[in-house]
Structure 1
């Protein structure tokens, strides 16, 4: 048999006919399908992290919240016992709730007011705007660090520079972090000091307001206050809403400041015992992981509830350009 006749028979065989068909089938993917396949490949690590690092531990913590678990022994199912103990038998839990709501209630509105005020001033076209913006933004980057917490404890200690400042006016100093009446305020001041991130967001929102609106208001004789109340605030409400959500969640989750300033105790007299600090103590000091998981899920429910209420209320006061 010649080489030519062998090739012709091979070409006419079913296997040879199936080969081009397989090639054609493989090449039938549209460019969009190829792009989607590439996108899924790039997203695969994120999905793996979501399942094994976020979603998996979250569901496990939900199960542990219904158990007694101290790491050394297997979890023992107790149902709602952890939740009942929180609300009926744990005075420290209610102390942490009280301190946390005090902290959130003061820091969130104060941060919003200060950041908005500074953003309005910086938006007036000051020379060296980039420098001032950086100066105000830096505390938000380092405010949650351990070093700043240690520094804050020294500043408001009995020999801190805050007492030295009061001494210039003849006022007597004290250890502000050791007094139950003043210790919570040191945490509030520390958190307010880190208003820079909200300020930058407000400044970006102010830059998006058309200057023609202010020019038209000036022609009508509107004062600076009228411009701010009738133009700036309504057009800035989406940014205010966004900052409000972020600051509320951040305040509920605050931990480092309380841990460092109180040296991990939440004292004096539980006056700086934030919810997250008490959760940490139950989990990693007392090794009561089941109870700590229940506290974590309760915190999630509280944050979700407040966030949902804010979203519901936004339809009454948040103005969008297409409304």
Structure 2
């Protein structure tokens, strides 16, 4: 029975996005909500200027519609279902404001870093209070060991760090056509498997809904992209996957399954540290996907390679959790 639910959920998530896109993309074009390309980025990206952005709205609509319909029909919605939607839509709204300022108000930087961080922290704290009221576990388990530790009330700081950290990490990965859509679909698919294995079916349905929505979006986002998800999509996806990891108590496994996001973030951190301390850059450009572009790889080759790495990370994460 559950296999059919998963199948219909991914199909529904896919179809909702695919059916919305031909309506929504021309609408974004008419509003002139086109992507602004940073001058300091790779010169090959300048031709992408004007491509409709804020396509993350389609992803969020698909996730919400699919999750609510399939959960109400095949599993009882729980607090966890609404927490997932709270964080996803909350971070999505924050990303929408950032995108809107960029494209409608013509301020290329969007929200300031402090404004964005403040919004992320507020959403994380709200999540923690609901989490605490429902007496969910604050224990952290370390893979490969029998060690676990209860963080108690200090778990709020972990939640803030995890949600803010991964929303920004996923956001950094959104730099090439189809890169984030593909890697995120793989990562959410892995968590769907793990949530199902833990009999947390409402979380599995949500994860599959995200996977289906991303695969549908990939139809229009693969190179050459007809639409970008913008921060509306990337911040929401980062918050969502961190929330899934927290609710399934697979927080540390997220580092493995989300290995591509972690590597991309580390490349930025190392680049900044190196330049500030030595005046030299480790990479030609960060995040890491831009480095490979500048050494001569085609955009499609970079994207497919990162998808492959993401798939290996997902398989490793499932293997560690299920069979080790």
- What's the TM-score once normalised by structure 1's chain length? 0.27
Bigger radius of gyration among the two: 1
